[in-house]
Structure 1
Amino acid sequence: MSEYILETEGLSKDFRGFTAVQDVRLRVRRGSIHALIGPNGAGKTTVFNLLTKFLQPTRGRIVFDGQDITATAPAEVARLGLVRSFQISATFGHMTAMENVRVALQRPLGTSFQFWTPVASLAPLNDRAMALLEAVDLASYADIPAAEMPYGRKRALEIATTLALDPPLMLLDEPTQGMGHEDVDRVVALIRKVAAERTVLMVEHNLSVVETLSDTITVLQRGQILAEGPYATVSKDPRVLEAYVGVEA
Structure 2
Amino acid sequence: MNNAVADTVLETSGLTKRFSGFTAVDNVSLKVKTGSIHALIGPNGAGKTTCFNLLTKFMQPSAGKIIYRGDDITYLKPADVARRGLVRSFQISAVFGHMTALENVRIALQRERGASFDFWRSDRNLQRFDDRACALLEDVGLGAFIHTKAAELSYGRKRALEIATTLALDPPLLLLDEPTAGMTEQDVERIVDLIKRLRQGRTILMVEHNLSVVAGLSDRITVLMRGRVLAEGDYETVSRDPAVITAYLGQDHA
- TM category (shorter chain) comes to over 0.9
Deviation at 1:125, TM superposition (A): 0.7
Match of 2:47 among 43, 68, 71: 43
Please tell me whether residue 141 in structure 1 is matched to residue 145 in structure 2. yes
* Partner AA of 1:235 in structure 2: S
The answer for the alignment partner of 1:208 in structure 2 is: 212
Secondary structure of 2:206's counterpart equals strand
Write the deviation string for residues 8-42 of structure 1: whole angstroms up to 9, x where unpaired.
01000110131111111100000000000001111
* Partner AA of 1:179 in structure 2: M
The answer for the alignment partner of 1:127 in structure 2 is: 131
* Partner AA of 2:135 in structure 1: A
CA contact (8 A) 2:107 2:119 kept: no
CA contact (8 A) 2:36 2:204 kept: yes
Percent of pairs with identical residues: 65
* Partner AA of 2:128 in structure 1: P
Change (3 A) 1:112 1:146: farther
Deviation at 1:183, TM superposition (A): 0.5
Write the deviation string for residues 193-213 of structure 1: whole angstroms up to 9, x where unpaired.
111221000000000000000
Write the deviation string for residues 75-131 of structure 1: whole angstroms up to 9, x where unpaired.
000000000000011111111110000010012313554344232011111111111
Please tell me whether residue 11 in structure 1 is matched to residue 15 in structure 2. yes
Name the count of aligned residue pairs. Answer: 248
Change (3 A) 1:132 1:80: same
* Partner AA of 1:241 in structure 2: I
Using the alignment, how far apart are the partners of 1:39 and 1:220 within structure 2? Answer: 8
Deviation at 1:139, TM superposition (A): 1.2
CA contact (8 A) 1:13 1:57 kept: yes
Structure-to-structure mapping, 1:79-94, within 5 angstroms: 79-94=83-98
Please tell me whether residue 160 in structure 1 is matched to residue 164 in structure 2. yes
CA contact (8 A) 1:5 1:28 kept: yes
Secondary structure of 1:197's counterpart equals coil
Using the alignment, how far apart are the partners of 2:135 and 2:70 within structure 1? Answer: 31
The answer for the alignment partner of 1:189 in structure 2 is: 193
* Partner AA of 1:160 in structure 2: A
Using the alignment, how far apart are the partners of 2:78 and 2:91 within structure 1? Answer: 18
* Partner AA of 2:161 in structure 1: L
CA contact (8 A) 1:97 1:146 kept: yes
The answer for the alignment partner of 1:222 in structure 2 is: 226
Using the alignment, how far apart are the partners of 2:126 and 2:138 within structure 1? Answer: 19
RMSD: 1.3
Which 5+ residue runs of structure 1 have no aligned equivalent? none
Secondary structure of 2:102's counterpart equals helix
Q: TM-score, normalised on structure 1?
A: 0.96
Using the alignment, how far apart are the partners of 2:115 and 2:19 within structure 1? Answer: 37
Secondary structure of 1:196's counterpart equals coil
4+ residue runs over 4 A deviation: none
CA contact (8 A) 1:36 1:44 kept: yes
* Partner AA of 1:83 in structure 2: V
The answer for the alignment partner of 1:26 in structure 2 is: 30
Using the alignment, how far apart are the partners of 2:118 and 2:138 within structure 1? Answer: 27
The answer for the alignment partner of 2:79 in structure 1 is: 75
Write the deviation string for residues 157-179 of structure 1: whole angstroms up to 9, x where unpaired.
11100000000000000000001
The answer for the alignment partner of 1:171 in structure 2 is: 175
Q: TM-score, normalised on structure 2?
A: 0.95
